[in-house]
Structure 1
Amino acid sequence: MKILLVCDLYPPEGFGGVQRAVSSLAESLVERGVEVVVLAGGKVNLVEHAKKVKIYRLRNITLPLYQHAPFVAFFGSRVKEIIDVEKPDVVHIELTTGLGWASLTEARKRRIPLVFTLHALPENVNQFLPIWPFNAFFGALFWRWIGLFAENVSAVTAPSVYALAQLTKRFRVRQAVRISNGLDLSEYGRQYSQKEALRKLSLENQKVILYVGRLHHEKSPEVLLGAVKKVVSEIPEAKFVFVGDGPMKNTLVTTSKKEGISGSVSFTGFISDEEMKLYYQAASVFVMPSAQELQGLSVMEAMAYSLPIIVARAGALPELVGQPKNGFTFTKYDKIDLANKIITLLGKGDLEVFGKNSYLQVQAHGLKYTAEKYVELYRSLLENKT
């Protein structure tokens, strides 16, 4: 079985959860004997191989407002040529881009089964538009664009109940399946105790409240920053660490100084995977204030490191707070509610229990299950091909 994965963003191009999810899926499928070809963007046109995955790269461009997500704008007849050469059994489209639409069109002409995975909603894109009064118009337009994909493929998938519902309540889809983006849980084993990790990061005797993600309005890091003063007033050893970079970084740094809380806050910028693992192992609590997550990859990573979580009560994030209890939700955009939840969690004596519950619950999101479910879906589409 040969699968063509179509995604403008594929490592090392761009950065974010989509790239990581798609590359992890490709590599895991290969491990299960599936031949995988990827059609993606790149700085130049080329064909390369990485971890037994064949990658066709078409030259991409970057928009000033969306620099972390370059996309393929000019591909001419290359999509048609690649599909004719590779003859995939299934075409799996990951993003609603021009490249994705061209691939959908060519696959339909050849009666190749199609899968579309929802990775982004209109509100994820609207954050980058400078013309705020027209966001509702662009949002409606983007939903219609998503619908063209959802209603013209053999099956749609999404990583959460929330995300899948956004498709099924709006569009007539042939088949809808929830499949987690998945984590390779073998990559998240603890190398150090919390005390050792804190020492390596020069954070001894501090309780780290960790955020990992882009510093952009889409992720609402300002809400977490707004909770700092109240938390520190009751827990002086609390240290808020923001791992990641983005257009809000300078504003957040300035605000922390203006509020007199800079000593309790750290902005790491981009860091290596190894250093990021240290922060996960040093943290006491992980917080994700975003109200627009379709799953929450960094939250699942924190759970894989046995961290209690606090997430906004919005989007798909509440699905990650389960029973037995592994954390709390807070009212989205409410910094006071968030601060109170952090104080409550840090003040409880059962952080370790919450963390163990996180670890147990994230096992259901193991990458092996994700790959197996996709293999099952692909095979069913081929068996029912007409």
Structure 2
Amino acid sequence: MNIGIFTDSYYPEISGLVTSIDILQSQLKERGHNVYIFTTSNPGIRGKRRGVFRLPSMPFLFLKSRRVGLFYTPRAVKCVKRLNLDIIHTQTEFSLGIFGKIMAKKLGIPVVHTYHTLYKDYVHYISKDKFKRLSNDLVKILSRNFCNGCDAVIAPTQKVYDLLMDYGVKKSISVIPTGIRLCKFNSGGHPEVNAEELKQSLSIGSNDPVILFVGRLAKEKRVDIIIRQMPYVLQSLPDAKLLIVGDGALRKTLESLAVQLNVNKSVIFAGEQAWDKIHIYYKLGGVFVSASVTETQGLTIIEAMASGIPVAAIRDRNIEDLIKDRWNGRIFDSERELGEAVVETLSDKTISQMYVKNANDTLYEYSSLKFSMKVEEVYTKLLREKILT
């Protein structure tokens, strides 16, 4: 098949969405398909990637770190036509997604859409918490109309499936979790970097218990509640360190919070790290913590589990099938339960090792191979139906 993936977010941006697209592209290519990415231009890009076409863009008005495509030129339309695409897969409801749907109609080919983002949890970026109800209603209408204008929809979790059904989406929805390259995270050692040297460079002692967070430093990630539990954690584990890998608009606020709580010497901000090096940072963790309830799936949780780190995550529908409390990880409902789960996991190696072992038995469902095979099945079904009609 010749497959066109249309997305507003792509390399060098680092996010779960970009990871999903990158994994899907590489796995489909390994399975013998031709995959082409259509995305936005980016001033940070150096050089070109084969099979990646970038359209003129500008920073998103309400979130400067994101970009949206501008008008589409006849040249871009000719480029898409020249590739003789069999199917288009949109990954955004905005500019490139709209362009993808337009081109699918022009070419008379099916269009599949993956609904990645729970926009109802992000409207504060636009409305600043004013007119919230109006913003949520608008999100519902736009999401429903976009999905119903596609031939098939993919939801990463049951949580997203239920949301889209509630929005009134009538098209076929397949629940397909994004997979990860398990071998990248679960391989034993990484000879390219010495873990002890990396710890030393981050001012982490060899025997210091490490609480790990990986992700954007944004309001919806709720990193602040992890930091707020550090005084409690340090009472039991005075040498514990909270390692925060990632960057974002909230970094200075979080750094100030650590100072206010007098835990700044125990909270380490490592900044944003290159995707091809992120697996090394997972190896430093003694427990991985996620406090976000806005995830469609939570790829960092799966990456942590694959890396052999026990996970403590807030109760949320997106992890119902992934984490079973006190079997392959911990689930908490409150800030204090977060602190208790962290202390217990870091203090009891027997429990910690049990979580890791049982988590490993869960992971096949989240392999990149299974992910690509299920998406490929959606494509094949649509193309077969097109032939029959």
Q: Same fold (TM over 0.5)?
A: yes
Note the C-alpha offset of 1:358: 1.9
More off after superposition, 346-355 vs 214-223: 346-355
Aligned match of 2:182 = 185
Alignment of 1:1-386 (within 5 A): 1-12=1-12, 14-43=13-42, 50=49, 54-63=51-60, 65-78=62-75, 80-129=77-126, 131-188=128-185, 189-191=187-189, 197-198=195-196, 200-202=198-200, 203=204, 204-273=206-275, 276-322=278-324, 325-331=327-333, 334-348=334-348, 349-385=350-386, 386=389
> What is the distance in 1 between the residues matched to 2:320 and 2:6?
29
More off after superposition, 321-330 vs 199-208: 321-330
TM-score by length of 1: 0.91
The change in CA–CA distance for 1:186 and 1:90 in structure 2 (over 3 A counts) is same
Amino acid at match of 1:179: I
Amino acid at match of 1:233: Q
The change in CA–CA distance for 1:40 and 1:274 in structure 2 (over 3 A counts) is closer
Would the aligned equivalents of 1:156 and 1:176 in 2 still touch at CA under 8 Å? yes
Note the C-alpha offset of 1:135: 2.6
1:82-121 deviations in whole A, cap 9, x for unaligned?
3322231111110001221132133134431110101112
1:4-38 deviations in whole A, cap 9, x for unaligned?
111122212x2211112112211111111111111
The change in CA–CA distance for 1:185 and 1:141 in structure 2 (over 3 A counts) is same
The change in CA–CA distance for 1:352 and 1:274 in structure 2 (over 3 A counts) is farther
More off after superposition, 288-297 vs 102-111: 102-111
> What is the distance in 1 between the residues matched to 2:303 and 2:264?
27
Amino acid at match of 1:270: E
Amino acid at match of 1:91: I
Note the C-alpha offset of 1:321: 0.4
The change in CA–CA distance for 1:56 and 1:361 in structure 2 (over 3 A counts) is same
The change in CA–CA distance for 1:215 and 1:11 in structure 2 (over 3 A counts) is same
Would the aligned equivalents of 1:299 and 1:309 in 2 still touch at CA under 8 Å? yes
Would the aligned equivalents of 1:306 and 1:357 in 2 still touch at CA under 8 Å? no
Note the C-alpha offset of 1:172: 3.5
Would the aligned equivalents of 2:211 and 2:242 in 1 still touch at CA under 8 Å? yes
Amino acid at match of 2:199: L
Q: How many pairs are equivalent? A: 377
Note the C-alpha offset of 1:298: 1.1
Note the C-alpha offset of 1:79: 5.1
The change in CA–CA distance for 1:31 and 1:323 in structure 2 (over 3 A counts) is farther
The change in CA–CA distance for 1:96 and 1:69 in structure 2 (over 3 A counts) is same
> What is the distance in 2 between the residues matched to 1:231 and 1:30?
46
State the identity %.
Answer: 25
The change in CA–CA distance for 1:102 and 1:121 in structure 2 (over 3 A counts) is same
> What is the distance in 2 between the residues matched to 1:102 and 1:199?
47
User: Secondary structure of the equivalent of 1:316?
Assistant: helix
> What is the distance in 2 between the residues matched to 1:102 and 1:364?
32
Amino acid at match of 2:301: V
Q: Mind listing any 5+ residue stretches in structure 1 that lack a counterpart?
A: none
> What is the distance in 2 between the residues matched to 1:95 and 1:228?
37
User: Secondary structure of the equivalent of 2:57?
Assistant: strand
> What is the distance in 1 between the residues matched to 2:102 and 2:275?
38
Note the C-alpha offset of 1:363: 2.2
> What is the distance in 1 between the residues matched to 2:326 and 2:382?
37
> What is the distance in 2 between the residues matched to 1:17 and 1:226?
25
User: Secondary structure of the equivalent of 1:352?
Assistant: helix
The change in CA–CA distance for 1:275 and 1:5 in structure 2 (over 3 A counts) is closer
Note the C-alpha offset of 1:354: 0.8
> What is the distance in 1 between the residues matched to 2:196 and 2:133?
45
> What is the distance in 1 between the residues matched to 2:280 and 2:32?
34
Q: Mind listing any 5+ residue stretches in structure 2 that lack a counterpart?
A: none
Amino acid at match of 2:57: N
> What is the distance in 1 between the residues matched to 2:169 and 2:263?
51
1:197-240 deviations in whole A, cap 9, x for unaligned?
35541221111010000111011111111111111112212211
User: Secondary structure of the equivalent of 2:167?
Assistant: coil
The change in CA–CA distance for 1:156 and 1:270 in structure 2 (over 3 A counts) is same
Would the aligned equivalents of 1:286 and 1:307 in 2 still touch at CA under 8 Å? yes
> What is the distance in 1 between the residues matched to 2:262 and 2:79?
57
1:293-331 deviations in whole A, cap 9, x for unaligned?
000111111011011111111241343203881111112
**RMSD of aligned Cα (Å):** 2.2
1:272-301 deviations in whole A, cap 9, x for unaligned?
446533321121100011110000111111
Note the C-alpha offset of 1:353: 1.7
Amino acid at match of 2:34: E
Note the C-alpha offset of 1:71: 1.8
> What is the distance in 2 between the residues matched to 1:262 and 1:213?
19
> What is the distance in 2 between the residues matched to 1:318 and 1:225?
25
Would the aligned equivalents of 1:192 and 1:281 in 2 still touch at CA under 8 Å? no
